[in-house]
Structure 1
Amino acid sequence: MALVNKVYGLLFKRTSTFVVTIMVGAVVFERVFDQAGDALFDHLNRGKLWKHIKHNYEKEE
């Protein structure tokens, strides 16, 4: 219960800190979700994307 009280007092007691907490949380969630989606897409399409097969078609200089 002490941890909950400390988190409440630190992040949610004042409206300004609550708004900042929500905004930072949304930005962090968006970045993590975007990177996880890209990683899943790359994993499911391994060998089909240009970045995986371009070495077969590009000439070395």
Structure 2
Amino acid sequence: MAGISNAIYQSLFRKNAVYLTAIFASAFAFELSFDTASNKVWDSWNAGRQWKDIKPRYLVKDEEEDDD
């Protein structure tokens, strides 16, 4: 166990620039994954009620009215 913590310290925490870069990179990766997951949950809960789902029905209806 001491070997793992020593390796982490030597690779990430020893230099401040590397430590901060690791923090910002992990925060960015977490934000991307959280946003993707929350968008998928939102889309699954609201399927059929969003504009992207009902847009084709209104576009077809408008085109039929223009033909008359």
TM-score bracket for the superposition, by shorter chain length = 0.7 to 0.9
Secondary structure at the counterpart of residue 57 of structure 1: helix
4-13 or 21-30: which moved more?
Answer: 4-13
> What is aligned with 1:47?
48
Contiguous gaps of at least 5 residues in structure 2: 64-68
Q: What per-residue deviation string (whole Å, max 9, x for no partner) do you get for residues 3-47 of structure 1?
A: 433232111222111110001011111111111111111010001
**Which residue matches 2:30?**
29
Q: Which has the larger Rg? A: 2
TM-score (norm: length of structure 2): 0.74
Normalized against structure 1, the TM-score is what? 0.80
Please list every run of at least 4 consecutive aligned residues from structure 1 whose deviation after the TM superposition is greater than 4 angstroms. none
Matched with 1:16 is 17
Name the one with the larger helix percent.
Answer: 2
Instruction: Quote the sequence identity (%).
Output: 35
Question: What is the RMSD computed on CA atoms of the aligned residues?
Answer: 1.5
Q: How many positions carry a matched residue from both structures?
A: 60
